Structure 1
Amino acid sequence: MRNSVRVLVIALGLALGLGNPTPGEAGRPQLEKERHGHVLERYAADTWRSVAAMVDPRTGLPADNVGGDLAAGSRSAFTSPTNIGAYLWSTVAARDVGLLHRREAHQRLAQTLATVATLERHDASGMFYNWYSPTTGEKLRAFPDSGDRIKPFLSSVDNGWLATALLLVSRADPSLKRQADAIRTGMDFGCYYNPAEGNGGPTPGGQIRGGFWDEDPAEAAAVRGDYCGMGTDVWYTGHHYGAFNTEPRIASYLGIAAGQIPAKHYFGTFRTFPDTCDWSWTETKPVGAWRTYTADGEPMQVFEGALPYRGQHLVPTWGGSMFEALMVPLFVPEEQWGPRSWGVNHPAYVRGQIEHGLDEAGYGYWGFSPSNNPAGGYREYGVDQLGLDGAGYTSDQERTTVDQPYEGCRAGSPPPTTYGDGVVTPHASFLALRYAPRAALANLANIARDFDAYGKGGFYDAVAVRSGQVSQRYLALDQGMVMAALGNALAHDDMRRYVARGAMRHQLEPLMAQEVFTR
């Protein structure tokens, strides 16, 4: 396996003319099938092998992760709604790129849906809990390995990814439409939506909470409430998802498309916080201006803020990571529906990640996103300056941060002259494939060539590039992102084609089409 991968890497390197990859190449990933189809197909086949290895044969539920040897005994003893969703869409992607016969794919999907239908969930909202046993489907109240207590929690973003997969399956396999829709249509995303929370403008667009507990969690920040007429209060997280360019927007999109959340919510979150000293704890002072759009027949004012970074203006994510920005457009063609907003920002965000890894930090590699920590555990990685949060996520093990000034409000500190042991994750390059295909493929080839980073289940989860330490595990979420990106690249944007039609397009495209980000 290792030698065959090296042969593919050498061939890809010759085709690409490896060296400094050139960012800014945007286009349909289908073009990359025509140029480098053999490499992409091999990546897909190996990645699917790791996805399939995570699945319990009795329940059809995936584990959260599996060891690099893919042994059944190395599977984790817990899973989540996101993991289940990632397995469902990965199965469809594997079918559509020719790795699975339609009959086997149908059987896998049907088995998983049958188990999901039996999982305990919150009856009033239809939402799923965060942690289940993949072998029994039981809701977990303690983590099996550590014994640490779990407070039953229902996450907006995790339920968003499961609902996305259910919508995808109902369209990808019409014979399963009834089963998939029966589960999904019972999920009410309005139960997370607080209409009173706004973005600083005169008309609140509302924001969604991170989730809720249905039992008193004894959390000081928890807020009791009932946003959707559940009939009884729950305990909401103290925070809302206030940043616009983050992965929880998939839950917002689903709620808007279903009529559970008003369309004006699209304009209710922050592109950046306003440029006043009240917000000077954030990354740096934004540029931008207030603009007015229309939703639900109302004028909606939005501060179209952007952060400066290396000659560009970008709408940041919360922490500066790749999957915050680019997991959603695996399924929703944001850059097509919003050519003057997302169409500008997505390629620029990828350029920012590339420039940080290759030029600013000098790692020689790029792609920073939450992943396994090669030193153990799980950690958030990103590019600090691409995040709205002042602390942000860092790209190295040493947590090297950049304390930029906020003009007129606070001084900053000199930028770092060196960075430490940078950690890159291959799934970030697959997320960038659409927007910088040459750079993404070259980066992956370099990682496979220079490190023991590729196994029989595809790329391992993360590499610390200076120490050479590799996290030799496979994660359901991260492999699921890889499979979705390859499903789009090799099968005519199938992941998007299944999800982004009907109400999703009818409700969201007019909103995105209006908006103009600051450039």
Structure 2
Amino acid sequence: MRNSVRTIVIALGLVLGLNLPTPGQAMDPPGRHGLETERRADVLGQYATDTWRSVKAMVVRRTGLPADNVGGGLKPGSRAAFTSPTNIGAYLWSTVVARDTGLISARDAHRRLARTVHTVAGLERHEASGMFYNWYSPTTGEKLLTFPTDGSTIKPFLSSVDNGWLATALLLVSRAEPSLRSQADAIRGDMDFGCYYNPAEGNGGTTPGGQIRGGFWDQDPQDPAAVTGDYCGMGADVWYTGHHYGAFNTEPRMASYLGIASGQIPAKHYFGTFRTFPNDTCDWSWTETKPVGHWRTYQVGGEDMDVFEGALPYRGKHIVPTWGGSMFEALMVPLFVPEETWGPRSWGRNHPAYVRGQIEHGLSEAKYGYWGFSPSNNPAGGYREYGVDQLGLDGPGYTSDQERTTVDQPFDGCREGSPAPTAYGDGVVTPHASFLALRYAPKAALKNLAKLSRHFDAYGKGGFYDAVAVRSGQVSKHYLSLDQGMVMAALGNALADDDMRRYVARGAMQTSLRPLMKQEVFAR
């Protein structure tokens, strides 16, 4: 087990960039840095212990499926009556983290993983594609046709991004728990991400790289924007979403990576989405602001792929934006794939810059005193997308406060902007955003989390509650499977030698994707 204080200290030291001895070397008596690192390891260890408590509380023992969320008191009666493929995936990888950090035994981990994988194997899914539907009952495993919260009708949908996260978890389980390899691989092997891939959609270059759809319905949804088709030889048309995932720096790229690694989607798809839209026309002036950048040509399998390497200017930095400006769009994928290592001139520049942008918005621009903006529960009720408007490709973007304060920047030569806001309102900060930033700004992330815990009633027996409105002090006292899963994955990497990455980012994932990332150069 990797739960000794020594190993935790060394692992955290790697994250923090401190000079610690390698295994086999004697440790000097703790000086200032050693003592500081050990204290931080203790803090992260406590965060992991408490977060795992909330993850466990969401799970229905009989099925091994997690609820979407649970109340802050962790009572079984407060569990949501629905779950999703992403939620299930988050529970699977959180269980591996709990084992790897010594929170549970290998025997307990195997029992939990085996029960969940067995249930997943029996869930109803779309047979021709192997994909899972968006909503199931965590109590029975049945596909939901009526939403439990309001009784509304559910039109069964098969999401590319949600199936991507479940497939990621199944790949991880296969490698982390070899006794379950055949079962996990059998499920994942039936999942064809090529069923989402439209080869005709491109990024404006001369050779379309193709893009993936948001998903499809297997029955007519009566949606005028839906497009019928069959991208993978399913034998019958389905109804695709009218939109593609066209922005590069967003969380659906995990589904793209899985498709490329499995050979279901061609490698050129990596260059088929937009870093930003080109800047030589007003056709894209509805986006956030005019990007900087230029066209580059990359080689993939003997084909030239033209890519506009664009970036948006923000506070003296050039950043490849996400769609809405949130943290999890940018940084959930690198919990599992070492993008900044494989692409030192692309992701290696962008991930730290994106985190700095979020920090500067919270502390210097909006002057909240805190930072970390990402979709989360709304402290006033419901669920909402939060982010930094200027870090998003979309014109309106996601906003960081309850008042939805937007920034209307100009698009030079096409439209004028409006004066920048003189003040922001009640900013909503979600702790999972700080955990996502832990690799790139460890001291700032830990400081931000400590302030949230100290200044607000933001920490319960299951770890950090989901969100805090920092001016009103209103707290969403709920735990979400997705958000706690991101926290656990980040803690697993910090405390257990990058375990999430070690399980996922090898084999075909590495051989197919690393050469693509290595050659790319983002705009500076």
TM-score for both structures, normalised by structure 1: 0.94
The answer as to 2:431 corresponding to 1:410 is no
The CA distance in 2 between the partners of 1:34 and 1:502, in whole Å, is 34
Could you tell me which residue of structure 2 aligns to residue 444 of structure 1? Answer: 449
Could you tell me which residue of structure 2 aligns to residue 256 of structure 1? Answer: 260
Could you tell me which residue of structure 2 aligns to residue 28 of structure 1? Answer: 15
The answer as to 2:497 corresponding to 1:510 is no
User: Post-superposition shift, 1:29?
Assistant: 5.7
User: Post-superposition shift, 1:296?
Assistant: 2.3
Alignment gaps of 5+ in structure 1: 1-25
The CA distance in 2 between the partners of 1:373 and 1:150, in whole Å, is 23
Could you tell me which residue of structure 2 aligns to residue 133 of structure 1? Answer: 137
Could you tell me which residue of structure 2 aligns to residue 37 of structure 1? Answer: 41
Could you tell me which residue of structure 1 aligns to residue 61 of structure 2? Answer: 57
Alignment equivalent of 2:288, drawn from 280, 283, 299: 283
Alignment of 1:167-178 (within 5 A): 167-178=171-182
Report SS of the residue matched to 2:446. helix
User: Post-superposition shift, 1:144?
Assistant: 1.1
Could you tell me which residue of structure 1 aligns to residue 331 of structure 2? Answer: 326
Alignment equivalent of 1:224, drawn from 221, 228, 241: 228
Name the amino acid aligned to 1:387: G
Name the amino acid aligned to 1:389: D
Could you tell me which residue of structure 1 aligns to residue 147 of structure 2? Answer: 143
The CA distance in 2 between the partners of 1:78 and 1:515, in whole Å, is 41
Q: Structure 1 residues 278 and 220 mapped into 2: Cα distance closer, same or farther (>3 Å)?
A: same
Q: Structure 1 residues 477 and 30 mapped into 2: Cα distance closer, same or farther (>3 Å)?
A: farther
Could you tell me which residue of structure 1 aligns to residue 368 of structure 2? Answer: 363
Could you tell me which residue of structure 1 aligns to residue 33 of structure 2? Answer: none
Q: Deviations over 1:490-518 (max 9, x none)?
A: 00000000000000000000000000000
Alignment equivalent of 1:272, drawn from 272, 276, 280: 276
The CA distance in 1 between the partners of 2:121 and 2:397, in whole Å, is 38
The CA distance in 2 between the partners of 1:101 and 1:271, in whole Å, is 43
User: Post-superposition shift, 1:33?
Assistant: 6.2
Sequence identity percentage: 83
The answer as to 2:143 corresponding to 1:156 is no
Could you tell me which residue of structure 2 aligns to residue 396 of structure 1? Answer: 401
Name the amino acid aligned to 1:516: V
Name the amino acid aligned to 1:283: E
The CA distance in 1 between the partners of 2:224 and 2:480, in whole Å, is 32
Alignment gaps of 5+ in structure 2: 1-12, 19-35
User: Post-superposition shift, 1:185?
Assistant: 0.7
Could you tell me which residue of structure 1 aligns to residue 392 of structure 2? Answer: 387
Could you tell me which residue of structure 2 aligns to residue 9 of structure 1? Answer: none
Could you tell me which residue of structure 1 aligns to residue 303 of structure 2? Answer: 298
| Root-mean-square deviation (Å) | 1.2
The CA distance in 2 between the partners of 1:34 and 1:497, in whole Å, is 24
The CA distance in 2 between the partners of 1:106 and 1:255, in whole Å, is 28
Name the amino acid aligned to 1:217: P
Name the amino acid aligned to 1:359: S
Alignment of 1:113-132 (within 5 A): 113-132=117-136
Could you tell me which residue of structure 2 aligns to residue 7 of structure 1? Answer: none
The CA distance in 2 between the partners of 1:399 and 1:154, in whole Å, is 31
Q: Deviations over 1:25-70 (max 9, x none)?
A: x963686965611000000000000000000011000000000000
Alignment of 1:66-85 (within 5 A): 66-85=70-89
User: Post-superposition shift, 1:127?
Assistant: 0.1
Alignment equivalent of 1:195, drawn from 189, 193, 199: 199
Report SS of the residue matched to 2:60. coil
Runs of 4+ more than 4 Å apart: 29-35
Contact 1:30 1:488 in 2 (8 A): no
Name the amino acid aligned to 1:253: Y
Name the amino acid aligned to 2:382: G
The CA distance in 2 between the partners of 1:418 and 1:508, in whole Å, is 43
Q: Deviations over 1:453-499 (max 9, x none)?
A: 00000000000000000000000000000000000000000000000
Could you tell me which residue of structure 2 aligns to residue 23 of structure 1? Answer: none
Name the amino acid aligned to 2:138: P
The CA distance in 2 between the partners of 1:430 and 1:243, in whole Å, is 24
Q: Deviations over 1:179-221 (max 9, x none)?
A: 1001001000000000000000000000000000000000010
Q: Deviations over 1:428-471 (max 9, x none)?
A: 00000000000000000000000000000000000000000000
Contact 2:136 2:142 in 1 (8 A): yes
The CA distance in 2 between the partners of 1:252 and 1:34, in whole Å, is 38
Alignment equivalent of 2:99, drawn from 85, 95, 99: 95
User: Post-superposition shift, 1:297?
Assistant: 1.7
Could you tell me which residue of structure 2 aligns to residue 343 of structure 1? Answer: 348
Contact 1:33 1:490 in 2 (8 A): no
Could you tell me which residue of structure 2 aligns to residue 455 of structure 1? Answer: 460
Alignment equivalent of 1:46, drawn from 43, 50, 56: 50
Q: Please say which of residues 320-329 and 145-154 is displaced more in the overlay.
A: 145-154
The CA distance in 2 between the partners of 1:158 and 1:83, in whole Å, is 9
The CA distance in 1 between the partners of 2:94 and 2:300, in whole Å, is 34
Could you tell me which residue of structure 1 aligns to residue 247 of structure 2? Answer: 243
Could you tell me which residue of structure 1 aligns to residue 29 of structure 2? Answer: none
Contact 1:460 1:472 in 2 (8 A): yes
Report SS of the residue matched to 1:28. helix
Q: Deviations over 1:142-171 (max 9, x none)?
A: 111210111000000000000000000000
Alignment equivalent of 2:357, drawn from 352, 355, 368: 352
Q: Deviations over 1:298-323 (max 9, x none)?
A: 01000000000000000000000000
Contact 2:15 2:442 in 1 (8 A): no
The CA distance in 1 between the partners of 2:270 and 2:146, in whole Å, is 36
Question: Higher RCO, 1 or 2 (CA under 8 Å, sep at least 6)?
Answer: 1
Could you tell me which residue of structure 1 aligns to residue 219 of structure 2? Answer: 215
Alignment equivalent of 2:470, drawn from 465, 485, 491: 465
The CA distance in 2 between the partners of 1:188 and 1:212, in whole Å, is 13
The answer as to 2:497 corresponding to 1:485 is no
The CA distance in 2 between the partners of 1:27 and 1:263, in whole Å, is 32
Report SS of the residue matched to 2:53. helix
The CA distance in 1 between the partners of 2:49 and 2:39, in whole Å, is 18
